[in-house]
Amino acid sequence: MKNTILRIIPVALLAASFLIGMLTVQGYVVAAEHDATTQADPMQFSRGAQTWANNCARCHNMRDAKSLRDDQWRVAIVHMRVRANLTGQEARDVLAFLQGSN
């Protein structure tokens, strides 16, 4: 009995340190991904304004950025991206511009 416990302890310690190590690595990876995706793109707003000016008054009057809330613009851009034939990047730029101007 005593022998079994003595044999289990090092294995348990090894497993515990492995788990802690994995969690730490995972924490770093998540933090790095978070930084990459939330990093501000300083040109996005002006690119968005340009794309908006070039595309969003082709079919209807220019909608004032202040006419919709952030969440409403998100939905509108999902629809208008298809109508205006925008790339994903262009749609994200326009959305950033509109949400930053309302």
Interface map 10-49 toward ligand HEC (x if CB under 6 A): ----------------------------------------
C-beta neighbour count of 97 within 10 angstroms: 23
Pick from 45, 76, 101, 102: which binds ligand HEC (CB under 6 A)? Answer: 76
Name, in order, each residue with C-beta under 8 angstroms of 77's C-beta and a sequence gap of 6 or more.
Answer: 91, 94, 95, 98
Name, in order, each residue with C-beta under 8 angstroms of 62's C-beta and a sequence gap of 6 or more.
Answer: 56
| C-beta closer to ligand HEC: residue 80 or 96 | 80
CA distance 85 to 31: 34
Pick from 48, 56, 93, 97: which binds ligand HEC (CB under 6 A)? Answer: 56
The binding site for ligand HEC (CB under 6 A) comprises 52, 55-56, 58-60, 63, 68, 76, 79-80, 83-84, 86, 94
